A = this chain, B = another copy of it.
Amino acid sequence: MIFDLKTTDKDTKARAGVITTDHGTIETPIFMPVGTVGTVKSVHQSELKDEINPDIILGNTYHLYLRPTTDILEQAGGLHKFMNWDRNILTDSGGYQVYSLAERRKITEEGVKFQSHIDGSYHFFSPESVMEIQRSIGADIIMAFDECPAAQSSYTYTKNSMEMTHRWLKRCVAHLEKVPPKYDYNQSLFPIVQGGVFKDLRKQSAEFISEIGADGNAIGGLSVGEPAEVMYEMTDLVCDVLPKDKPRYLMGVGTPINILENIALGVDMFDCVMPTRNARNGMLFTAHGTINIKNKKWENDFSPIDEMGITFVDTMYSKAYLRHLFASKELLGKQIASIHNLGFYLWLVREARKHILDGTFSTWKTQMVNQMNKRL
């Protein structure tokens, strides 16, 4: 993997770059649509490519391991072939999902024992097994196995957890060297900065992670319940430590405003279920604010969903029609809203990139944050 940092904004810490992998280039800043089990929910691969047009999408190791299973993915020749997606894929490590299981998992130094949310069967993830699973899935970017402590965790818990995450990282790196890629392209491991909401721990973790010399670095354990201002403070602090010549990925963030604010702090990559999950609940993100399309006020508004027309759905369907689909619990409603929201997220990061490149990011960002903060 090569990262070519094109420019850093003069007024903020925002960066524009290009990542090159064996599956092509990724222009940063980038938002990665989440394709949990090998499908970006309710969106055809062709729509994803032609309408939403991300250079990279995300898959979830935990979900893919349970279904369709690594065995099937290996027989298919990896996730790219299985789902018919020839651009980049990143997989998380399964850590976040496993920890969300709460009562259904037990963490030890060796790894995590957990019960499947599907059938209650027992499984064990270790840094080593998660590396092997990610070799089988075959994403271009794979994540180190980490513990993601809850937002309200104590200093002591967070410190111990972070130190274990660091030890696990060493095991991930060591094991990957023993297990070569299964397919005919390279995979890059991104380690994950942890440390909760504690500045000294975040700094310590960022320093540890930086020394690994990975192709890219991730920031985990944020957007888990803490106030946005605290998240920004942590991101800022961590980005100041992480190497400038490697892409930085802020995991699981966030709203369009969160994304612009974090771009301004030096983050290059994002993922979040919000555009698709909120879409399925009838919430639309636009450049002029959010829309709850279930609201009665849209009942006879026959104007297009979004005059900007970023994707085909925006001008093909009216707000009144989309509201009717949600009122009638029709699947097409979820499909339309998902394409719209993802189209908007990708538009937003592409616009951010343009403004970083032409030196107008800061004023543009301020204007966009004001606009997007409204409820329509």
- A binding-site residues for B, Cβ under 8 Å: 37-39, 41-46, 63, 67-68, 72, 75-76, 81-84, 299-300, 302, 312-313, 316-318, 320-321, 324-325, 327-328, 330-332, 334-336
Q: Give the residues in chain B near A328, CB-CB below 8 Å.
A: 37, 39, 63, 67
Task: A43 to B42: give the CA distance in the assembly, Å.
Answer: 11
Q: Which one, B67, B321, B331, contacts A335 given CB within 8 A? A: B331
Docked-complex contact A76 and B320, CB < 8 angstroms = yes
Docked-complex contact A324 and B42, CB < 8 angstroms = no
Docked-complex contact A321 and B82, CB < 8 angstroms = yes
Shortest Cβ distance from residue A38 to the other chain B in the assembled complex, whole angstroms: 7
| Apart from A41-B330, A84-B321, A335-B335: 15 A-B pairs, beta carbons within 8 A | A37-B328, A41-B331, A41-B332, A42-B331, A44-B332, A45-B316, A67-B327, A67-B328, A75-B302, A76-B302, A76-B318, A81-B302, A82-B324, A331-B334, A331-B335
Q: Which one, B38, B72, B300, B331, contacts A299 given CB within 8 A? A: B72
Q: Which residue from chain B places its CB closest to the CB of A38 in the assembled complex?
A: B324
Docked-complex contact B37 and A67, CB < 8 angstroms = no
Docked-complex contact B335 and A83, CB < 8 angstroms = no
Shortest Cβ distance from residue A277 to the other chain B in the assembled complex, whole angstroms: 13
Q: Give the residues in chain B near A37, CB-CB below 8 Å.
A: 324, 328, 330
Task: A42 to B333: give the CA distance in the assembly, Å.
Answer: 8
Q: Give the residues in chain B near A45, CB-CB below 8 Å.
A: 316-317
Task: A42 to B328: give the CA distance in the assembly, Å.
Answer: 13
Docked-complex contact B332 and A42, CB < 8 angstroms = yes
Task: A83 to B321: give the CA distance in the assembly, Å.
Answer: 6
Task: A37 to B324: give the CA distance in the assembly, Å.
Answer: 9
Task: A270 to B302: give the CA distance in the assembly, Å.
Answer: 32
Q: Give the residues in chain B near A42, CB-CB below 8 Å.
A: 331-332, 335
Shortest Cβ distance from residue A57 to the other chain B in the assembled complex, whole angstroms: 13
Most B CB contacts (10 A, CB to CB) among A82, A84, A300, A328 go to A328
Q: Which residue from chain B places its CB closest to the CB of A77 in the assembled complex?
A: B302
Task: A294 to B38: give the CA distance in the assembly, Å.
Answer: 17
Q: Which one, B39, B46, B335, contacts A312 given CB within 8 A? A: B46
Q: Which residue from chain B places its CB closest to the CB of A71 in the assembled complex?
A: B300
Q: Which one, B44, B324, B331, contacts A67 given CB within 8 A? A: B324
Docked-complex contact B332 and A39, CB < 8 angstroms = yes
Most B CB contacts (10 A, CB to CB) among A38, A46, A67, A68 go to A68
Q: Give the residues in chain B near A82, CB-CB below 8 Å.
A: 302, 318, 320-321, 324
Task: A336 to B42: give the CA distance in the assembly, Å.
Answer: 10
Task: A302 to B63: give the CA distance in the assembly, Å.
Answer: 20
3 closest A-B pairs by CB: A42-B331, A68-B324, A39-B332
Docked-complex contact A327 and B43, CB < 8 angstroms = no
Task: A300 to B72: give the CA distance in the assembly, Å.
Answer: 6
Given contacts A42-B332, A76-B302, contact A68 B312 (CB under 8 A): no
Task: A83 to B300: give the CA distance in the assembly, Å.
Answer: 13
Docked-complex contact A72 and B320, CB < 8 angstroms = yes
Task: A41 to B370: give the CA distance in the assembly, Å.
Answer: 38
